[in-house]
Amino acid sequence: MAVGKVSLVGAGPGDPELLTVKAVRAIREADVVVYDRLVPQSILDTIADGVLQINVGKQAAHHPVPQDEINEMLVRLARAGRTVVRLKGGDPFIFGRGSEEAAELEAAGIPYEVVPGITAAQGCAAAARMPLTHRGLASGVRYVAGHRKANEPLDLDWRSLADPETTLVVYMGLANIEEIVRNLVAEGLSATTPVFAICQGTTPQERRIYACLETLPTVLKDASFSGPVLFIIGRVAAIAMERSERNDAGSSEAISVVA
C-alpha cells in the first residue's frame, strides 16, 4: 500500500473566510481531518460528508490525547495510505506544536506539507482595525506564550518585553495575567500602557475590552470571558480603542471600552 500524506494546516483565527485557498483545498482533498479544540464548528462544517473527523483538542490541564499519541496517530494514518489534514487553530508553527508533529513525520519518512494560517495576533488586530506596528508608536512586535506546562512560573525575559517601542502579544495568558502585568510594570513598562484583549476573535462570539495595564486584571474579572483570549499590549492598542469609540454607535459588535 502506498504511503499517504499529512498536511499541517493552519485554520486561522476563527472566521472561515480567513482560511487560505490552499487550506480550503487541503481540507477538500482529505479523507481524515485531525483537529484541535480551537478550530470552530463553522470551519469543521466545511469538511465533506464521509470524511473521518478526529478530535484531539486540548484544554488547560486537560489533554485527553497526549501530544505523543497525536504524533503517532498521524504517522499511523499516513502509513495506512490516508490523506490526512492536521487542522490547527491559527498558524501551525506559532504556539501550535506543529513543528513537533513535523519532526515526527520527517523521522518516520512520511510525506508532509505545512499550510500556514493567519495567526490570532494578525487576525484579531485586523478585526479591530489596529496595526501591530505603527510609525512613532511601535517599531516591532513580539509574540509570547503566557502559560507553561504543569502551571510552572513564566520564565520570560521581562526586561526585554517591557519595551514601550514594541507591541507585545500574549497568547494563552488569561490564567497568568496578574503575574504578567506585575512583571512588566516591575521592569519599567508604564502602568498606563493601553491593552486590547479579545476573546474568540473574528467569530460571531467575539468580545473585546480595552484597559490600561494596571487595571487589566480587575477588568478581566468583570468581563468573565469564555474561550481563548489574546492580549495586545502597547501604544497601538489606543488606536483600536479610538476607532471603536468612533464607530461603536449602531455597531453589532460586543465591545466594552474601559478607560
* Per-position b or e across 202-216, b if 16+ CB within 10 A of its CB: bbeebbbbbbbbeeb
DSSP-assigned letter for residue 249: T
Helices (H), 62-176: 67-79, 98-108, 120-127, 158-161
Is 172 annotated in the active site?
Answer: yes
Which one of 36, 73, 88, 163 is the catalytic residue? 36
Q: For the chain, give the number of residues.
A: 259
Q: Is 131 left (phi over 0), alpha (psi -120 to 50) or beta?
A: beta
Task: For helices 177-186 and 216-223, give the axis angle rounded to 10 degrees.
Answer: 160
From the list 15, 73, 163, 172, the catalytic residue is 172
Whole-angstrom distance, CA of residue 123 vs CA of residue 121: 6
Decide if 91 is catalytic. no
Rg (the chain; Cα; Å): 19
DSSP state, residue 24: H
Examine the residue annotation and report whether 36 is marked as an active-site residue of this protein.
yes
Question: Which residues participate in catalysis according to the annotation?
Answer: 36, 58, 172
